[in-house]
Amino acid sequence: MLVFILNLKFYRPMSFLGIDLGTGSLKVAIVDENGREQAVASVAYPIETPQAGWAETSVQTWWRALCEAAARLPDGLRRDVRAIGFSGQMHGVVLIDAAGEAVRPAMLWPDTRALALLEAWPEPQPNPVAPGMAGPLLRWIVLHEPQSASRTRWALQPKDWLRVALGGAVATDPSDACATALADPAGVWDAALLDRLEIPHEWFAPLAPSYAAGGVLSESAARALGLRAGIVLATGAADTPCAALGSGLAHDGDALLTTGTGGQIVVLAEHAPAAVKGLHRYRAASDHWYRMAAMQNVGIALERARGWLSYEWADAYRDAFGDATNATNATNATATFSANTAAASGLTFLPYLTGERTPWLNPMARGGWLGLALDHTRGTMMRAAFEGVAFSLRAGLDAIRASGATVTALKLAGGGSVDARWRQLLADALNVELHAVDCPNAAPRGAAILGGLASGHWHARDLAALAPGATRVAGPQGDAALAERYERFLDLYGRIETWFTDTPSQ
């Protein structure tokens, strides 16, 4: 008994820190040895646009945000951190010199300066290529900023820059590499493509698994963050696979829907999925792959429609779906769900205000209402906007299904998917069951789990057991009229796609 008491006295709890380096904010989360979130903090920052179409952030902005976010975590919890994992915005690039100093501000995925260079990636490609990916951006650097190119030693992904800044190894993982448009689908750098684009091979970091140890925390970084020096740094992964990991996707066919500014549908796959136009197939944070449909206009389109119609959000939901009284779950919402269905049946909203990725791959696509009549109201128009966004997500899911995946249920995450009536519309439009995940901070949680894997606390066989709880919140009701309006939506886009031929405004 005495030995037990002594061991208990000297026992210190074990925890893991996840850092999610996002486009507009940095978030940190500490999870305990059982994968439960203990503390979270975030710091927002602006995207810099020094010229039209550019999207940049100074790495010092990221560093200050990390230090500030870490300082908001309890001291005691920080002392117990045994490892750190990293999640980072996909695409974009950070150039550093031989001393590890940034050559210029980081270039981010919304950047469109390299749009005219996409012809260097002729179809077919293993994945869709966008101007904000590392490949087109680095080609632009070689052509337009030779002074930056001459100083560059490494071209890193955002989360890899952060790990190096904390004292870690220069490395990247397949989940980030395969999304640069400079590697094969497995994430291996394409030497022939680099030669053709005249991008130096030596800029690119060696590959390591997302869950591998990638160095240890330096003394200086430990002082800045209030952590212990020498703790393990995981290689880390891109934010989408980290969010999938944090949300509990562990087996072939597990699927996740996130709705925020844009929307993503991710389906885990044991083996490399078949190529389908408009669909991304990338490496996961584990040894899996994943299919991804990426839709650009979800929250951003609904927010703009709400603004155009001069709605407060509560009124927008009420007029689009009916009285919200007692509509606290999908069952109660059903009675009020069809309030504007009949009126909206002749009205279609295309949500493509910023172009579209999956499935159309059309950066010039644009949106609006078609079918307006004198008897239509603001509520009718708002309802059509909700349906149009749901239909755009369905078009992305159809691309995933066309690649061979059977998707009947989706885990649901994202701040834009809370209202029960909106969830029911999504379930009907997508023809799936929706299960809300009890994990509001999935990406930093996934990063923290990678830290636990890198330190040896967890192993791949533990991932399924670490999945957070999920509650069924909606299921499809076989709405035939909605299915007909979806077909009308697809027909309308197909008819007017040729309108979108001019260069989009910035």
- Residue 87's H or E segment, with its range, is strand 81-88
| Same structural domain, 297 and 403 | yes
Identify the band that residue 341 occupies on the pLDDT scale cut at 50, 70 and 90: low
Sequence-ordered list of residues with C-beta below 8 angstroms from that of 318, at least 6 positions apart, any chain: 324
| Same structural domain, 92 and 199 | yes
Give the chain's domain count: 2
Q: Give the count of beta carbons closer than 10 Å to the beta carbon of residue 287.
A: 12
pLDDT, one tens digit per residue, over 423-457 is: 999 999 999 999 999 888 999 999 999 999 999 99
| Residue 219 domain-assigned (yes or no) | yes
Q: Give the count of beta carbons closer than 10 Å to the beta carbon of residue 153.
A: 17
Q: Which of 85, 206, 111 is nearest to 454 (CA)?
A: 85
Give me the CATH number covering residue 486: 3.30.420.40
| Residue 446 domain-assigned (yes or no) | no
| Residue 147 domain-assigned (yes or no) | yes
| Same structural domain, 310 and 258 | yes
pLDDT, one tens digit per residue, over 30-43 is: 999 999 999 999 99
Please report the pLDDT score of residue 416 as a whole number: 56
Convert 327-353 to b/e letters by CB count within 10 Å (16 or more is b).
beebeebeebbebbbebbbbbbbbbbb
Domain boundary residue, one of 239, 268, 302: 239
Structure tokens at 78: 């920080």
| Same structural domain, 50 and 125 | yes
| Same structural domain, 298 and 431 | yes
Structure tokens at 96: 């550093």
Domain boundary residue, one of 189, 204, 239: 239
Residue 8 has pLDDT above 80, yes or no: no
Amino acid at 480: A
**Angle of CA points 366, 367, 370, to nearest 5°:** 135
| Same structural domain, 224 and 127 | yes
Residue 504 has pLDDT above 50, yes or no: no
| Residue 161 domain-assigned (yes or no) | yes
Structure tokens at 253: 């066919």
| Same structural domain, 221 and 268 | no
pTM above threshold 0.85: yes
Q: To the nearest 10°, the Cα dihedral for 421, 23, 250, 449?
A: -120
| Residue 466 domain-assigned (yes or no) | no
| Residue 44 domain-assigned (yes or no) | yes
| Residue 471 domain-assigned (yes or no) | no
Query: Is 241:224 a contact under the CB 8 Å cutoff?
Result: no
CA 200 to the chain's CA centroid: 29
Crossing angle, helix 158-165 and helix 59-71, to 10 degrees? 60
pLDDT, one tens digit per residue, over 254-309 is: 999 988 888 999 999 999 988 888 899 999 999 899 999 999 899 999 999 999 99
Q: Which of 134, 138, 182, 178 is nearest to 158 (CA)?
A: 134
Alpha-carbon gap, residue 62 to 60, rounded angstroms: 5
Query: Is 500:364 a contact under the CB 8 Å cutoff?
Result: yes
Q: Rg (Cα) of the chain, in Å, rounded?
A: 23
* Cβ contacts of 46-55, under 8 Å, gap ≥ 24: 47/23, 47/108, 47/110, 48/105, 51/113, 52/506, 53/111, 53/112, 53/113, 53/115, 53/506, 54/107, 54/111, 54/112, 54/113, 55/107, 55/108, 55/109, 55/110, 55/111, 55/112, 55/132
Identify the band that residue 58 occupies on the pLDDT scale cut at 50, 70 and 90: very high
| Same structural domain, 229 and 339 | no
Domain boundary residue, one of 186, 215, 239: 239
| Same structural domain, 184 and 292 | no
**Angle of CA points 191, 194, 198, to nearest 5°:** 140
- Segments forming the whole domain that contains residue 56: 12-239
Please report the pLDDT score of residue 324 as a whole number: 53
| Residue 117 domain-assigned (yes or no) | yes
Structure tokens at 227: 């952590």
| Same structural domain, 115 and 156 | yes
| Same structural domain, 282 and 325 | yes
pLDDT, one tens digit per residue, over 395-418 is: 999 999 998 899 999 999 865 568
| Same structural domain, 311 and 417 | yes
Q: Which of 47, 14, 21 is nearest to 163 (CA)?
A: 21
Identify the band that residue 2 occupies on the pLDDT scale cut at 50, 70 and 90: very low
DSSP assignments along 384-446, one per residue: HHHHHHHHHHHHHHHHHHHTT---SEEEEESTT---HHHHHHHHHHHTSEEEEES-TTHHHHH
